[in-house]
Structure 1
Amino acid sequence: MERSRIAVAGASGLIGGALVRALTADGHEVVRLVRGAARAADEVRWDPERGSVDADGLAGCGAVVNLAGAGVGDRRWTPAYKARLRASRVRGTAALAEAVAALPEEVRPRVLLNGSAIGYYGETGGRTVDESAPPGEGFLPGLCVEWEAAAAPAREAGVRTVFARTGLVVARGGGAWGRLFPLFRAGLGGRLGDGRQYWSFIALHDEVAALRHLLDTEGLSGPFNLTAPYPATNREITETMARVLHRPALFAVPAPVLRTVLGEMAGDVLGSARVVPARLLESGFRFAFPRIEEAVRAAL
């Protein structure tokens, strides 16, 4: 994409922050969507959970990137927190899509790149799935279906609409690995459950590069799995972390304990999602860190 103005929701998060730094380094003007009053020319006010956004602030942007949403793993999934997860994603996406669609064509963004997640597929066991697979069953798949459907106004207005179904991001600064690294450094790391469940991961570097690829490549629309091409089991990941960090991995957390501590969210930890990035690879994208050991070393 030529140097342009790009609006980013979720710019303060792990992925959003890394994307903003990359875009800014390449000379793009980044506009951040903020929840409070806009205090600078590069800020646009919005309230994703109430479904409102200052549409005028999006006028003239070449692209809108929506990576906002309450953290799936931040709290137990109480009914109240489930409602917050849904509102922050579905209402926020709907607000952006409607705002983009309502803008005059001459100042309307050309692309909406919307976050999603491999939670769309639910439990897949050892079966490999790509973007052609149907949604799974349960809370997360249902949320992802609603989340993506909320972008319909932009797509119907002719805006190229892309869904980034992201896996577990390997990075020190946040997400699942932001919690795993300190545990393994302290010698407290270990497999979760029986360790046979697949975790579909992606290095933060590749996540940002893939998002840039989806923004820059005309003709790409619909869902794309942002996961490395070689998913690994929890046991393999545990062994890799221990080897790279030169620490023992003696501890194992039994499934019943996880269910007691995490509640319904334990299903996401113990579940298996063997997801591959078929469409991303077909579009010409190449991973810098396709295997788990490479991704862990890159994060360090």
Structure 2
Amino acid sequence: MTVIVTGASGLLGSALVRSLRADGSRVVRLVRRAPQSTDESFWNPEKGLIDPAALRGAEAVVHLAGAGIGDRRWSDERKREIMRSRVDGTRTLVAALASQPVRPAVLLSASAVGYYGDTGDREVDESAPPGEGFLAEVVRAWEAETRPAAEAGIRTVTLRTGLVLSREGGMLGRILPIFKLGLGAPLGSGRQYWSWISLDDWVGAVRHLMAGRAGGQDGGGVSGPVNVTAPEPVTNAAFTSALAGAVHRPAMPLAVPAPVLRAALGEFAQEGVLTGQRVVPRRLLDAGYAFRHIRLNEALSAVL
């Protein structure tokens, strides 16, 4: 099986590439520098450049490229970069795929649970409408760029991913050293929900969706939005307690106040930290995916 992957050097992409190659699949990585092997091909999404030959023979495409959401403060220019990197990259890739004489069977395109905005205590699945805010706006525009692929007959899945647990990166990787020092604390009210998934389950879910399995049978495969999260989201306070326990350190008794977070993180603090989404993976469960880690304590033990 030949799979095209963008964003292959990131946390999610590198884990997926390792898994696919371990099972004998050929993976072609789309990169922004000069290719260094036959398994790499150059593309420049901002300029709409991509080598169509790199896509020939691909049976599946996994599109994960995009500027980081929480690694820098949100200046106006950074917000434009976050939006542009997703819209331009998806538009360039989808146009190239749709123009192929023989198209891949499936496109799995990254997305995010930020689509739902702040859900408070309300549990949401893929049928919920979009929420408000910059991240919801980004996700709506991002997902809209995949429609020409579906119209061209490519089974298209948008991966609405939550907080992916890995000690190697992502939010957990950044906060783990703080918790190991015994300085972990709830953020803001601590009541905001964090919809999480272990890295192993993220890779497993993507591969399950790629294979087109639906309920254990060949039903043509899932298409459209899929929440790639574990079935049991938790509040930030519960996450704090679980992570402190996992590293055998106490959590701080007082929460980090919202004004302090806003001063430290800027505009990102409100949408990325102080609000949350209580998301359930209804379509993933209906498609027969068996989670390795359903409960947060189990996932943290495996990850750490």
Superposed pair shares fold, TM > 0.5: yes
Could you tell me which of 238, 260, 263 is aligned with 1:260?
Answer: 263
Which one-letter code corresponds to 1:270 in the other structure?
A: L
Q: What is the alpha-carbon distance in structure 1 between the residues aligned to residue 29 and residue 276 of structure 2?
A: 35
The equivalent of 1:298 in structure 2 is: 302
The equivalent of 1:279 in structure 2 is: 283
Q: Per-residue deviation at 1:269?
A: 0.3
Q: Per-residue deviation at 1:150?
A: 0.6
Q: Per-residue deviation at 1:39?
A: 2.8
Q: Per-residue deviation at 1:225?
A: 0.1
Is 1:11 aligned with 2:13? no
Q: Per-residue deviation at 1:51?
A: 3.0
Identity of aligned residues (%): 57
The equivalent of 1:69 in structure 2 is: 66
SS at match of 1:284: coil
SS at match of 1:192: coil
The equivalent of 1:269 in structure 2 is: 273
Q: What is the alpha-carbon distance in structure 1 between the residues aligned to residue 257 and residue 23 of structure 2?
A: 46
Q: Per-residue deviation at 1:244?
A: 1.4
Is 1:226 aligned with 2:228? yes
The equivalent of 1:175 in structure 2 is: 170
Is 1:138 aligned with 2:133? yes
| Structure 1 runs of 4+ with >3 Å offset | none
When the two chains are superposed, the root-mean-square deviation of aligned CA atoms in Å is 1.0
Q: How many residues of Structure 1 are paired with residues of Structure 2 in the alignment?
A: 295
Q: What is the alpha-carbon distance in structure 1 between the residues aligned to residue 153 and residue 74 of structure 2?
A: 36
**TM alignment of 1:1-300, pairs within 5 A:** 4-105=1-102, 108-217=103-212, 218-250=220-252, 252-267=255-270, 268-300=272-304
Q: What is the alpha-carbon distance in structure 1 between the residues aligned to residue 126 and residue 258 of structure 2?
A: 29
> Please, which runs of 5 or more residues in structure 2 have no aligned partner?
213-219
Which one-letter code corresponds to 2:278 in the other structure?
A: R
What TM-score do the two structures reach when normalised by structure 1?
A: 0.96
Measured against aligned partners, the alpha-carbon deviations of 1:207-266 in whole angstroms (never above 9, x if no partner) come to 000000110014210000001000000110111111111101115210011111112111
> Please, which runs of 5 or more residues in structure 1 have no aligned partner?
none
Q: What is the alpha-carbon distance in structure 1 between the residues aligned to residue 261 and residue 98 of structure 2?
A: 44
Which one-letter code corresponds to 1:275 in the other structure?
A: V
Q: Per-residue deviation at 1:54?
A: 1.3
Q: What is the alpha-carbon distance in structure 2 between the residues aligned to residue 122 and residue 273 of structure 1?
A: 7
Q: What is the alpha-carbon distance in structure 1 between the residues aligned to residue 51 and residue 286 of structure 2?
A: 37
The equivalent of 2:215 in structure 1 is: none
Q: Per-residue deviation at 1:84?
A: 0.8
Check the 8 A contact 1:49/1:84 in 2, yes or no. no
Q: Per-residue deviation at 1:149?
A: 0.6
